[in-house]
Amino acid sequence: MKHGFLKVAAASPAVRVGDLAFNTDSAARCIARAEAEGIALLVLPELHLTAYTCGDLFFTDTLLTAAEASLLRLCDDTAGKRCVVVVGVPLRTDGKLYNCAAVLHDGAILGIVPKSVLPNHGGFNEARRFTSGEDYSGAGQITLRGRTVPFGLDLLFRCEELPSFVLGVEVCEDLWAPETRSTKLCLAGATVIANPSASDELVGKDEYRRLLVNATSARLLCGYVCANAGHGESTQGMVFSGHSLICENGVLLAEKRPFADSDMVSTELDLQRLCFERRSNSAFRPNGSFRAIPFHLPLRETVLTRPIDPQPFVPADESVRRERAKAIMRMQSDGLKKRIEHIGCQKIVVGISGGLDSTLALLVMVHAMDQLRRPRTDILAISMPCFGTTARTKNNAEKLCAQLGVSFKTVDISQSVLQHFADIGHDPTRTDLTFENSQARERTQVLMDVANQCGGIVVGTGDLSELALGWATYNGDQMSMYGVNASVPKTLIRHILEQEMQNFSADTAAVLRDILETPISPELLPAENGQIVQKTEDLVGPYALHDFFLYHLLRTGAGPERIFRLAKHAFAGTYDANTILHWLKTFLRRFFTQQFKRSCLPDGPKVGTVSLSPRGDWDMPSDASAALWLQEAEALTNN
């Protein structure tokens, strides 16, 4: 439960129709297993204690009296256990029978939630036997074993120790209705929805059920645990497969597939992220008056079993990754196309270095010109070699431009920079920040002035990862007239270029491959024996880590302690804890101190949910203090 992770499970234990002793024992075994595995919430199927398919046996006092006794027995079984249990049971009150979900915890019944929507079609005839919770008009409580227990549709169960854990309950068909109970529950504050279900299996229904549960979790920004009835239910008219699902904000985290042999599936819900999503989503406006039922659940470390993607910006599935790359390229090129049309410029100018970023920018420009049906010669790529330029990058830049058919020009800036050193009295043998930034600013000056000469605009090449770290020279490569890569992280650029290799000739693809294999470098320090000596990732850290830090800071609202834990899990076997922590501190320092470079960024297309554009996506004062974040990070040193 630490850092907002809640371990949950959906179980479909075997049942026997009308055999309450057997069914209660099977539920108790699931509860014992859940307790042993550190599960905080266990959801069992609809009407599990009796079985769902009892038919008119639900009219009999014998079955209903035994159901109450079984519920109380199961409740006693939870005593001393930390797991919250949701189980289906038929209960009578005020002369009516209700299809209910009981919420049990530590020897107590926290509350009873009746089913609202009673299906009366396609083999289901619940309205024949049960009363809808919507029609309940009682006092909002039921008496069991002499104890008064909250009863009704207006119940929310709140964990005192983990305020982000607010449980709402709906039963099976309640989810399938046009107006769902879960919508009202989540708007009233529920972050987790438990659904004890008895949904029969039909051809294609598993796909629809999966889509429904997943989409509901996305729409309501919640965790959703659906436990479906399975083996042992009557097959007289229907078949039940035990298809159970655990989803979170549109992501299927765990699934017990139809007719699977296992009886339980579990994973962790990220409640902290869900709460962050709700806070930052202006469309999510809480409302509704519900009764809050408090319960205690001592905090404990939750072992993470759910996958934490080390490359959150890069889809793991190859086909999805391929389509994502195409979509991003289209967004980038379409944005540039619109800008060219609006300005009416004669040329578009870019500095081409033979590195990843300028290569992506050039390809975006090519696609934009192709869409405009203008000649690629209206693209002017300028190579500006200086002290650190290697033959490898220079040659790759020239070959790529030739094969793409764009205009190409070389402007050696060495003498201009040396003259500048003389003008300001800088020793050219002193390879400090002035030595480096003078080259970057000279290159920008050349690009801007050439653009003026040819009636063009300068297309920026800096990417999202560099902007996060401030790895750009202020009023140098930080500046352009339109930055096409501004919201594309470094880890994703590689995959976009790999996809682009499929769109060009074998010769062009070979150049792109060598560019991908070239160490990332600004090439501002003199080369040694013709080789790059200034490798960016040696200086500021691996971009894989920094992109991970950036994603979780901005997209999930995580602090340093939580980011560190997630990174250790995601990069286990790749980076050790000390390495991760070292670069996390570097990231935090640079992210805060370099905001001034982001506050005056040129326009550029937004392609993903994480952006550092000062025009609404990231609004932070340039003088905001990093003290709180660094203090939290420093405290992690001995962890």
Q: Are residues 287 and 354 in the same domain?
A: no
CA angle 30, 32, 34 (to 5 degrees): 65
Q: Which of 7, 81, 115, 347 is catalytic?
A: 115
CATH number at residue 533: 3.40.50.620
Rounded Cα distance between 400 and 387, Å, is 22
Q: How confident is the model at residue 2 (pLDDT cuts 50, 70, 90)?
A: confident
In the β-sheet with 5-11, what is the strand arrangement from edge to edge?
108-114, 96-105, 84-93, 41-43, 5-11, 264-270
Residue 245 has what pLDDT?
98
In a domain, 48, yes or no: yes
Alpha-carbon gap, residue 124 to 143, rounded angstroms: 29
Q: Are residues 364 and 245 in the same domain?
A: no
Q: Would you state the pLDDT for residue 1?
A: 62
275 and 368 in a single domain? The answer is: no
pLDDT at 62 exceeding the cut of 90: yes
- Residue 287's pLDDT is 79
Pairing type for strands 482-483 and 244-248 reads: unpaired
In degrees to the nearest 10, what's the CA dihedral of 444, 450, 453, 456? -80
Q: How many separate domains does the chain show?
A: 2
Report the candidate in 176, 172, 187 with the shortest Cα–Cα distance to residue 219: 187
Tell me what the mean pLDDT of segment 465-490 comes to: 96
Residue 501 pLDDT grade (very low, low, confident, very high; cuts 50, 70, 90)? very high
pLDDT surpassing 60 at residue 282: yes
Cα–Cα dist 209/600, whole Å: 48
Beta bridge partners of 156: 292
Confidence of residue 63 (pLDDT cuts 50, 70, 90): very high
Residue 131 lies in a domain: yes
Mean pLDDT of 534-563: 94
**Which residues, 6+ apart, have CB-to-CB distance to 528 below 8 Å?**
none
Q: Given 261, 294, 327, which residue is the final one in a domain? A: 294
pTM, two decimal places: 0.92
Which residues neighbour 399 within 8 Å (Cβ) at sequence distance 6 or greater? 511
Please tell me the predicted confidence (pLDDT) of residue 228. Answer: 98
Does 446 share its domain with 589? yes
**pLDDT value at residue 246:** 98
The sign of the torsion formed by the CA atoms of 499, 500, 504, 510 equals negative
Is residue 597 among the annotated active site residues?
A: no
- Is 134 one of the catalytic residues? no
79-110: pLDDT as tens digits: 999 999 999 999 999 999 999 999 999 999 99
Are 284 and 332 members of one domain?
no
pLDDT at residue 575 in the model: 97
pLDDT band at 619 (very low <50, low <70, confident <90, very high): very high
Q: Residue 637's pLDDT band (boundaries 50, 70, 90)?
A: confident
Mean pLDDT (whole number) for 476-493: 96
**Active-site residue flag, 115:** yes
CATH of the domain at 244: 3.60.110.10
Burial grade of 45 (CB within 10 A; 0-12, 13-18, 19 or more): buried
310 domain-assigned: no
pLDDT of residue 301: 84
pLDDT of residue 533: 66
Q: What is the pLDDT of residues 579-601, one digit of tens each?
A: 999 999 999 999 999 999 999 99
Nearest to 506 by CA among 602, 606, 399, 391: 399
Is residue 116 a contact partner of residue 147, using CB atoms and an 8 Å limit? Answer: no
Q: Does 639 map to a domain?
A: no
342 and 261 in one domain?
Answer: no
Q: Residue 3: its pLDDT value, please?
A: 87
For 110-120, the pLDDT digits (tens) are 999 999 999 98
Residues 255 and 340 in one domain: no
Extract long-range pairs of 290-293: CB within 8 Å, 24+ residues apart: 290/154, 290/155, 290/156, 290/185, 290/188, 290/189, 291/140, 291/150, 291/152, 291/154, 291/155, 291/156, 292/156, 292/157, 292/158, 293/103, 293/110, 293/111, 293/150, 293/155, 293/156, 293/157, 293/158
For 86-101, the DSSP string reads EEEEEEEETTEEEEEE
Categorize the per-residue pLDDT at 304 as very low, low, confident or very high, splitting at 50, 70 and 90. very high
256 and 156 part of one domain: yes
Contact present, 408 and 383 (Cβ < 8 Å): yes
**Model pLDDT for residues 144-168, shown as the tens digit of each residue:** 988 899 999 999 999 999 999 999 9
Task: For 188-336, list the strands marked E by DSSP.
Answer: 192-197, 223-228, 244-248, 251-256, 264-270, 291-295
Above 70 in pLDDT, residue 412? yes
Rounded CA gap, 338 and 113, in Å? 55
| Average pLDDT rounded to a whole number, residues 170-189 | 95
Lowest mean pLDDT among 227-241, 272-286, 506-520: 272-286
Cα–Cα distance between 556 and 326 in angstroms, integer? 26
The active-site residue out of 100, 172, 186, 386 is: 172
pLDDT > 70? residue 32: yes
Two structure tokens written together for 290: 């519900």
Nearest to 446, CA basis, from 386, 404, 402, 506: 386
Looking at every residue in the chain, the average pLDDT score rounds to: 95
Q: What pLDDT is recorded for position 298?
A: 87
Q: What is the pLDDT of residue 522?
A: 80
The answer to whether residue 313 is domain-embedded is no
Closest CA to 303 of 561, 78, 568, 546: 568
For residue 172, is it within any domain? yes
| 136 pLDDT higher than 70 | yes
pLDDT at 283: 82
The confidence score (pLDDT) of residue 562 equals 96
- Which pLDDT value is given to residue 75? 97
Q: Is residue 309 part of a domain?
A: no
Q: Identify the burial level of 169 via C-beta atoms within 10 angstroms of its C-beta, where 0-12 means exposed, 13-18 middle and 19 or more buried.
A: buried
Which has more confidence, 638 or 315? Answer: 315
For residue 20, being part of any structural domain is answered with yes
Residue 602 to residue 298: CA distance in whole angstroms: 50
Confidence of residue 205 (pLDDT cuts 50, 70, 90): very high
Domain co-membership, 558 together with 481: yes
Same domain, yes or no, for 141 and 268? yes
The rounded Cα 433 to chain-centroid distance in angstroms is 37
Residue 535 has pLDDT above 90, yes or no: no
Same structural domain, 255 and 368:
no
Residue in 30, 46, 226, 436 annotated catalytic: 46
Q: Which domain holds residue 374?
A: 318-634
Q: What's residue 147's pLDDT? A: 87
* Structure token digits, residue 587: 């990231």
Looking at the fold, whether 246 and 342 belong to one and the same domain comes out as no
